[in-house]
Amino acid sequence: MKKIFNVVGARPNFMKIALLMEELQKYPEFQSVLVHTGQHYDDKMSKIFFEDLDIPKPHVDLEIGSGSHAEQTAGIMAAFEKLCLTEKPDLVLVVGDVNSTLACSVVASKLCIPIAHVEAGLRSRDRTMPEEINRIVTDAFSDLLFTTSKDADENLIAEGIPSDKIFFVSNAMIDTLLEHKERAAKSDIAQKLGLSNDGTTSHYALLTLHRPSNVDEPETLTAIIDAIDEIQERIPIVFPVHPRTDKQLQLFGLDRRVQQMRNLILLKPQGYLDFLSLLSTAQMVLSDSGGLQEESTVLGVPCLTLRENTERPVTVWEGTNTIVGSDKDRIIKTAFGILEKGGKTGRLPEYWDGKAVERIVKILHHLFFHSVPDSIV
């Protein structure tokens, strides 16, 4: 039996690990251990996702909590090293690009424990993004790199990663979306907010905002809020407010302004199913989230990315995503264009078919036990 540590730490990780844990449990040769670092630890950012996605209770919770990037990463590393020395896993599997991903990869590498990275090879080419540093370092240390798109393969090869370590398997987060789409459609969140939700596109937009480059800079955040103020005069906007964003709105004196916008519906962070329900029937989404670029592409919802770049260019080339940055006029013009003419429709990227976790686990089984899977793809 091979012991696999499956590491999660923050909200974006949970959608990627849910079905992977379920698939690993089909193989008695694997002992699948869920390790939660506690990077996101409150109910709205962590617990509700475990409930919505039927993720089993973590076998280990390191309970690290919040802090600066250095404090949080160092705390995770110290606790995870002790765990690895005691439990001696055969593989550390990390997902995404949060601080937990980086910290556990560094520890495993120094202990000579093989590392598998799910969602490898994504690059924004912007090293001011903490996530970009986490991606680059994690990929450099990883022994198995599971990618979501062909451009990710190309990025890794350009960085000197041997091609026999790279496996294009598709997108585990999209597996979760497709698995839970019907359950999400039964949510009554839209009705509770006074919005129609009959399974078709409704007249509202969805907004998320959390990246430091947007919410930590008063001029940038003000410009985005200026744009939102004008757009909400034309269409209701549902805005689940991230704790970091809420803090910064108060710090910069913008909280009262957003509260007074008559068509801006402010919410606490939502659970997976309620949020997916809102996303599925929105007329458009405005966001600085990487994952939402992918989810909106699969759902056919036009996405305005409030950043100057993306590590997921396939969502622009093939999907519904448009990069608008933080320029007020460009945001407004693009949003009004969607209201008047409709937005990008896009197409489903290659292999985004709900079978990524099957491919990943087949590959792991093959590499550990030298069996020949019926089919990887």
Active-site residue, selected from the candidate residues 36, 40, 210, 365: 210
Please indicate whether residue 242 is annotated as part of the active site. no
Written as six digits, the tokens of 13 are: 């990780």
Q: Per-residue b/e over 290-304, b at no fewer than 16 CB within 10 Å?
A: bbbbbbbbbbbbbbb
Amino acid sitting at position 274: D
Tokens of residue 161, six digits: 């990663």
The catalytic residues are 210
